Amino acid sequence: MTGNTEHVAILGAGTMGRGIAHAAAVVGHDVTMRDVDEDVLVAAAEAVDGTISGAVERDKLDADTAAAARERVRTTTDLDDCADASIVIEAVPEDLDLKTSVLDEAVAAVGEDALITSNTSSLPVTELAASLDDPSRFCGLHFFNPAYVMGLVEVVTAEQTSDTAREHAVRFVESLEKEAVVVRDAPGFASSRLGVTLGAEAMRMLETGAAATADIDAAMELGYRHPMGPLELSDVVGLDVRLDILEHLREELGERFRPPEILRRKVRAGHLGQKSGRGFYVWEDGEAVRPVDEA
């Protein structure tokens, strides 16, 4: 890895937290995943072990590197175990009040020099920063799912973010062997705003019968060289996450971001995509088996 070893405290051991833990551990960082639910932590540790094992099976990691990475990942329900963290990554669900509460607790637990970040995909980082005693050391670190695979991380600067904090964040992203793009705080940042726009239009095409799921996705994969079509990608991101982002952008930017009804119906039914086994596709063992409209 490049740069110095960090102690990375990841607050929230869900899908994104687990992926970030994997990404950090395999390049040599020490990782503490903290969650309030012990059962979630047990599942998270098993998941990280599983994705590291999968990387070995695919010849992405050698056995020694994998074993060392597993040893670097700890789990805890106690924030005091994060006290000496040099970087904090909040990765709890996309709820402004929840994130603010978790960040406030983290600031009280870690040292004054720690970089404080949020993995939010759409919430205003300037507003999150404003709740901190020292907002200059805060920024967004927007990873993409799966975080241990995807090569991009958005470094989102709040109005209060210092040059020192921004540079620390960029160095950390580069240490993960990923590409950092620096964007200013704006609704949806760059990636979420563009991504949900394409995804929402694909959903509207599907619900009005313009084309079938597989054909919509193939059009973007083959015609525009997207590695994954917008409907399959929405399933991977999580349809509940996509809905939350669209609702936020609608509030901030207007009716052009109104969520499609087909998305609302799927979320109400609990069909959230890859993580629930059904969305626009039927999923088995993490793979899209077939589009729902071909079932």
Task: Please count the other Cβ atoms lying within 10 Å of the Cβ belonging to residue 20.
Answer: 26
Domain around 246: 191-294
Number of folded domains that form the chain? 2
Q: Looking at the structure, do residues 35 and 114 belong to the same domain, yes or no?
A: yes
CATH code of 277's domain: 1.10.1040.10
Q: Looking at the structure, do residues 180 and 218 belong to the same domain, yes or no?
A: no
pLDDT score for 3: 52
Q: Looking at the structure, do residues 198 and 180 belong to the same domain, yes or no?
A: no
Q: pLDDT tens for residues 203-260?
A: 999 999 999 999 999 999 999 999 899 999 999 989 998 999 899 899 988 999 999 9
pLDDT score for 1: 44
pLDDT band at 94 (very low <50, low <70, confident <90, very high): confident
pLDDT score for 206: 96
Number of H helices, E strands in the chain: 11, 10
pLDDT at 187 over 80: no
Is-contact 88 114, C-beta < 8 A?
A: yes
In a 3-state reduction of DSSP, which class is residue 273? strand
Task: Please count the other Cβ atoms lying within 10 Å of the Cβ belonging to residue 262.
Answer: 16
Last residue of a domain, one of 144, 167, 184: 184
pLDDT score for 17: 96
- Of 128 and 237, the structure prediction assigns the larger pLDDT to 128
Q: What pTM value is reported for the model? A: 0.81
Last residue of a domain, one of 184, 200, 221: 184
Query: Residue 1 domain-assigned?
Result: no
Q: Looking at the structure, do residues 163 and 254 belong to the same domain, yes or no?
A: no
- Average the pLDDT over 74-88 and give the result: 97
Q: Looking at the structure, do residues 162 and 224 belong to the same domain, yes or no?
A: no
The phi-psi region of residue 285 (left if phi > 0; otherwise alpha if psi is between -120 and 50; otherwise beta) is left
Q: Looking at the structure, do residues 248 and 104 belong to the same domain, yes or no?
A: no
Q: Looking at the structure, do residues 252 and 119 belong to the same domain, yes or no?
A: no
